[in-house]
Amino acid sequence: MKHTKRAKNPFSFFGCFASFAVNEKASTLRRAVIILLVSGVAAIVANLTHPNKIPWVQDWSAQVEGRAKKKNIRVVPLSVAWGSVQNGQGVFIDARPVREFEEGHIPGAVSIPLAGVDDQFETVGSLIDSGSELIVYCSNRECDDALLLAIALKTMGASDPLLFVGGFEAWEQSGGNVESGP
């Protein structure tokens, strides 16, 4: 009986590893897809049953922040606005009606209600001339009085008015002191 010795393939050792690596990559990819699918299902179920569910699609450009971006008005959060005021560079401007301002406002804020901006030309002029950063706010993230006032201030010569978008609501939520009266 004639025995033929099978020729050894010098690459079979590495080939084994290579196929193992390919298999492992494929199974890792398959598992990654499963994770992504499970996450997707969880996200859908969670948003359908969430007490504070949000719409799947929303028109963000209609929001105050989106409109500010279109008008090149810089939007800042409380941390930046407060930092600027503390450094002595910024001054808060309250765009809400006088009655709301008198009920409570950020300490040191100047009241320039949107409705009466034309009547306060001198105050606005001196604020612009002071070179301070004008940080405009209104009630909350939904109101647009502050945005409209910031646009008006820009028209009147303010170089870069800032919109503190969280407004008085964010100030109160963060535990800031509240001043009342004129």
Partner 1 sequence: MTRDQKTYRMAYWLASLIVAGVMLSGYYKILRPADFALSVYRFHLLPDVAVNLTALYLPWIETVCALCLIFVPRYRVAALWIALLLLVLFTGGIAINLMRGSAFGCGCFGSAPDAAPMSGLSIARNLALMALVGLALLSRKRAWARP
Tokens describing residue 36: 């992504």
Closest contact distance (angstroms) between CB of 70 and partner 1 is: 12
74 vs 154 by CB, closer to partner 1:
74
Centroid of chain to Cα 44? 24
Q: Which segment (1-9, 67-75, 87-95, 153-161) binds partner 1 by CB under 8 A? A: 67-75
Closest contact distance (angstroms) between CB of 67 and partner 1 is: 13
Tokens describing residue 1: 């009986």
Q: Is 161 helix (H, G, I), strand (E, B) or coil?
A: coil
Near partner 1 by CB under 8 A: residue from 68, 73, 76, 138: 76
12 is a site residue for partner 1 (CB under 8 A): no
Would you mind telling me the total number of residues written for the chain in this entry? Answer: 182
Check residue 88 and give left, alpha or beta (phi > 0: left; psi -120 to 50: alpha). Answer: left
- The pattern of x and - marking residues 91 through 120 that bind partner 1 according to CB under 8 A reads ------------------------------
CA proximity to 149, closest of 133, 131, 162: 162
Near partner 1 by CB under 8 A: residue from 18, 22, 26, 34: 34
Sheet harboring 110-111: ordered strands across?
74-76, 162-164, 133-137, 90-94, 110-111
- The pattern of x and - marking residues 36 through 65 that bind partner 1 according to CB under 8 A reads x-xxx-xxx-xx--x-xxxxxxxxxx-x-x
- Amino acid identity, residue 163? L
- Residues at the interface with partner 1 (CB under 8 A): 28-29, 31-32, 34-36, 38-40, 42-44, 46-47, 50, 52-61, 63, 65-66, 69, 74-80, 82, 166, 170-171, 173-174
